[in-house]
């Protein structure tokens, strides 16, 4: 159709993605002539896909495994995405491709549904991958004190160096939690507890198997957020609820990044 703008999410695999439904719904509500589709692109196909992208798409989201490798196909990268080292949204303006990171503001928006100010708050981020970098960036920018706990200490060290936070091994969680009299916010950015096709183990998997005991041992109850949105109630969040904590489910951050991407493409704040 002539005049119809095209958008997509670039990733692999994309079997589970909710993005097309979300964005097509928003385009329809705002009466914008645009369509959004899932573009399953394997790593070996990315160069070819990006060669044709400029002429065919007005914008895109980028997801696993391309959030870092996409950078070399872009003309510009926002300072925020540059600092995080990952891009999850692209705007094509008159043939010029600019990369943004809307995961960072999406994470902050999700946290702010339950915690108005992060200034001076003690936060633990579990994991040190690409998603953790966006989360840590946004927490630090909002004035929080952040400690990164990760399975591999070396990855935690890198993120701590890049963003100026504390770090330690994930195995030390309970010990550190007790020694520092707890914290205000815990965010899981690892894939532990995420839905897996044909498997059941994820239902019992948590990156913090001793959360309940750790929280019960101190007086303060942390806010606990998971960025996994399938399932909505992960083992971590179920444990957090049992411990009496307030929780934030992963769909909040997902919605936050989608809203921000939509705003970059259309200028509209309302999704
Ligand atoms: P993403 O870009 O989505 O964040 P990633 O870069 O692969 O994904 O990062 C995955 C994160 O989950 C890492 O912090 C990883 O820990 P390591 O740095 O030790 O690899 C963490 N992770 C994955 N599986 C895990 C597990 N079974 N237990 C603990 N942490 C795990």
Query: b vs e for 40-62, b when ≥16 Cβ sit within 10 Å of the residue's Cβ?
Result: bbeeeebeebbeebeeebbbbbb
Q: Whose CA is nearest to atom 30 of ligand 1?
A: 151
**Pocket mutation for ligand 1, best pick of 13, 86, 151, 154 (most atoms within 8 Å of C-beta):** 151
For residue 1, what pLDDT band results from cuts at 50, 70 and 90?
low
* E strand or H helix that includes residue 62: strand 59-62
Q: Could you tell me the distance, in angstroms and rounded to a whole number, from the CA of residue 113 to the centre of ligand 1?
A: 26
Distance CA(28)–CA(159), nearest Å, equals: 40
Computed over every residue of the chain, the mean pLDDT equals 96
Q: Whose CA is nearest to atom 31 of ligand 1?
A: 190
Q: pLDDT tens digit string along 168-200?
A: 999 999 999 999 999 999 999 999 999 988 999
- Report whether residue 127 contacts ligand 1, using a CB cutoff of 6 Å: yes
Distance CA(201)–CA(229), nearest Å, equals: 17
State pTM to two decimals: 0.93
Q: pLDDT tens digit string along 108-146?
A: 999 999 999 999 999 999 999 989 999 999 999 999 999
Residue 87 in this model has a pLDDT that exceeds 70:
yes
Task: Please give the positions annotated as active site.
Answer: 67
Please state whether the peptide bond connecting residue 212 to the residue before it is cis, i.e. omega within 30 degrees of 0. no
């Amino acid at each position: 159709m002539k005049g119809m703008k095209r958008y997509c999410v670039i990733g692999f695999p994309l079997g589970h993605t909710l993005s097309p439904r979300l964005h097509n719904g928003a385009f329809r509500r705002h009466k914008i002539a645009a369509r959004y589709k899932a573009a399953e692109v394997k790593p070996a196909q990315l160069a070819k896909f990006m060669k044709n992208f400029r002429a065919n798409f007005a914008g895109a989201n980028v997801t696993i495994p391309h959030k870092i490798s996409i950078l070399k196909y872009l003309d510009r990268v926002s300072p925020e995405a540059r600092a995080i080292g990952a891009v999850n949204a692209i705007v094509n303006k008159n043939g010029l491709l600019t990369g943004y990171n809307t995961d960072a503001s999406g994470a902050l928006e999700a946290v702010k549904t339950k915690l108005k100010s992060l200034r001076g708050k003690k936060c633990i981020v579990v994991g040190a991958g690409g998603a953790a970098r966006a989360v840590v960036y946004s927490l630090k920018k909002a004035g929080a004190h952040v400690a990164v706990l990760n399975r591999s200490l070396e990855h935690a060290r890198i993120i701590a160096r890049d963003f100026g936070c504390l770090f330690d091994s994930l195995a030390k969680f309970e010990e550190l939690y007790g020694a520092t009299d707890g914290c205000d916010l815990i965010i899981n950015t690892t894939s532990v507890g995420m839905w897996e096709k044909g498997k059941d183990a994820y239902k019992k998997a948590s990156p913090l198997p001793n959360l309940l005991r750790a929280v019960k041992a101190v007086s303060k109850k942390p806010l606990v957020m998971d960025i996994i949105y399938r399932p909505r109630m992960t083992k971590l969040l179920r444990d957090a609820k049992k411990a009496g904590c307030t929780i934030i489910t992963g769909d909040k951050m997902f919605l936050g990044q989608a809203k921000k991407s939509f705003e970059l493409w259309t200028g509209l704040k309302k999704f």
